[in-house]
Amino acid sequence: MAHLLHTPFIPSSSSLRRAAVSHRKTTPPLVVRAKIREIFMPALSSTMTEGKIVSWTKSEGDKLSKGDSVVVVESDKADMDVETFYDGYLAAIVVEEGGVAAVGSPIAFLAESEDEIAQAKSKASSSSSAPAPAAAAAPAPPVESQPEKVAAPVAAAVPAPVVVSSHPASEGGKRIVASPYAKKLAKDLKVELGRVVGTGPMGRIVAKDVEAFAASGNVAAAASPAPGKSVAPAGVELGSVVPFTTMQSAVSRNMVESLAVPTFRVGYTITTDALDALYKKIKSKGVTMTALLAKATALALVKHPVINSSCRDGNSFTYNSNINVAVAVAIDGGLITPVLQNADKIDVYSLSRKWKELVDKARAKQLQPHEYNTGTFTLSNLGMFGVDRFDAILPPGTGAIMAVGASQPAVVATKDGRIGMKNQMQVNVTADHRVIYGADLASFLQTLSLIIEDPKDLTF
């Protein structure tokens, strides 16, 4: 029988019984333990190193379901809702509203059941990694006393009092703390958020506060300065030292990093008569000049892929497969570059709609990471402010950025030797000289000029 089973030994029944008994003795008892999980400060962008807690949307003891929004975090680019990945209870908040925490550090504890809440609170209190709120980091006497000195004359000049938020993230009243929807609503209703009293957690302004303020018929009144006295713009406290916001810190780091890249600049004059005429023709259909410039740039980049390339490690460069045109936008307290992805493949009407959507989200600080960190070429346009020419700083990780000046009438000599008037704009491109050379930029700018001076392809 043994040779039929291909084994040299068949255990006896007694040995089988001993093995079975031995197996039963070594089986460990099944123990079910509830879990206490840490909620960490997430990395909401590739450049984010720390985040500020704008507000907790849930309170300690609240029951949470997977996917619920728990906290609003201010990253270096936007305010974003952070969701929980687990069911449970918000047992303990480690970093209060207004506090700053490094990416990856715990900001709260999540208990699996109500029985573990006390244990989670104990664990939170013993945690040595809890950061101090940002408001506490500022020098107490100047921050607390100076707003009071400024408030008195303002109250005398303005019929309706200016409300100073008590929210920790307001940084002593210097920052208005409001929900993203409340900010958008205030913009639509033309309501000055600084005069709205917040009824949300710790004075945060929510949508119903804006609606109530607008319904009351309040209109912002301009303060009349006393003769002979210089008055600072609203929200500016002369002589004060203001720490960088999270976004300003990120911009500062990026600008310093860009100094390590060897760059050069090339300027070009482009006649815009045909582009201006096209814009006037299709402006009523919702087309923006930004979308037209982005489309023209994208079509030129198709023919000059090296301008759309990038060098990140100093040893190689990448021909990017997509043409994603980032456009610089100034927002309250910083700068951000929303991205028009695949701008060469999308019609100018869709690009315009997308651009308006991105700008609204940027100003409400609601852009998602892929909407601002995927640019392969950047546009910076100060032409709408009447600036005729300027240089832009190259964003890290990209090959080139183009600064666009205003289109202005100029006296020029025509091809037949006569004097004429044409609208012209100056563009200056800053490029990474490790990858892009002068002849590359000159050729790209010539192509861009031809597209803008004969823009028939922009509307297809």
120 strand-pairing partners? none
Strands across the sheet containing 88-93: 36-40, 106-111, 88-93, 63-64
Strand, helix or coil at 206? coil
d(Cα 327, Cα 290) in Å, to the nearest integer? Answer: 8
Task: Report the half-sphere exposure of 155 (CA within 13 A, side-chain side).
Answer: 9
- Would you please indicate which residues are annotated as catalytic (active-site) residues? 433
How many Cβ atoms are within 10 Å of 235's Cβ, its own excluded? 13
Spell out the residues 6+ positions from residue 452 whose beta carbon is closer than 8 angstroms to its own.
Answer: 270, 271, 272, 274, 275, 296
Using CA atoms, how far apart are residues 261 and 432, in angstroms rounded to an integer? Answer: 7
Helix or strand run (H / E) with residue 211: helix 207-215
How far apart are the C-alpha atoms of 333 and 305, rounded to whole Å?
A: 34
Q: Are 177 and 54 in contact, with CB atoms under 8 Å apart? A: yes
162 CB neighbour count, 10 Å cutoff: 17
Nearest to 304 by CA among 416, 431, 196, 129: 431
Residue type, 390: F
The Cα–Cα gap between 453 and 193 comes to 44
Outline where 267-337 has alpha helix (H).
Answer: 273-282, 289-303
